[in-house]
Amino acid sequence: MFDDILAGIPFGIILSFTIGPVFFVLLETGATKGFKSALVFDAGVILADILFIAVAFYSTESLIEEVKDDSKFLIFGGVLLVIYGIISFIKATKSFKSIVREYQEVHIQRDYGKLFVKGFLLNFINIGVLLGWVGFIVLANSLTSTKNGVFLFICGMLGSYFVTDLFKITVAKRLKSKLTPKRIYKTKKIIALVILGFGVLLLAQGFFPKEKARLQHRIEELNPLD
């Protein structure tokens, strides 16, 4: 149980540092309007993520059960994550002017209701987020083996995502001042490559199922008490 939750934590941290409009507005809100305002905004963002997760999970749940041990499903998930990573990488190649404009054009609402809705909409209109969640659900199915493993993995992701956001809000002014266009540019590319890497990992598991089975057997031998 706890292993499944722990497995999702690194991925939640990675997603929390995905650079985009939501990232900048969260920092700006924390720096100019305080912790509570940023927390309300982030709640809207996470609600959109939960809706995306629900859609992604229930649209793939029956498929997961049918092809749980089918390498084709791993290839499908790997392709999704690779596409998501490539799209993110291409977006990361925007000029510094575009990055600076995205960084500076932040409009802060004082009303908590508007902040919540803004956080929700900024995340919800990005259909790429749904694509990413489908890929991560497939990845979770590959990395977990318990009955509720996928659910616990996603909970671990969301929990670490939220905790990391709390950290960002707390140090918003300092963190924002450190994010120069050059650093933003590098961070975008690194995160995109990390996500792409996990996609390649899924593809490798799909194309070489026997090697995957051997590795899992070896891990079970090394952890006989699990």
Contact 108/28 with Cβ under 8 angstroms? yes
The C-alpha atoms of residue 9 and residue 101 are separated, in whole angstroms, by: 31
Q: How much is the average pLDDT of 53-65?
A: 74
For residues 55-65, give the mean pLDDT: 71
The count of structural domains within the chain is 1
Higher pLDDT, 95 or 167: 167
Name the amino acid, one letter, at 132.
G
Q: 161: pLDDT confidence band, cut at 50, 70 and 90?
A: very high
At 114-156, the pLDDT tens digits run: 889 888 988 887 767 777 788 888 888 878 877 788 889 999 9
Q: Check: CB of residue 131 under 8 Å from CB of residue 83.
A: yes
Report the distance separating Cα 170 and Cα 31, nearest Å: 9
Instruction: For residue 93, give its domain range.
Output: 2-222
Question: At residue 225, does pLDDT exceed 50?
Answer: no
Q: Which two tokens stand for residue 190?
A: 């690194």
Residue type, 114: K
Of 71-75, 115-119, 147-151, 214-218, which range is least confident? 214-218
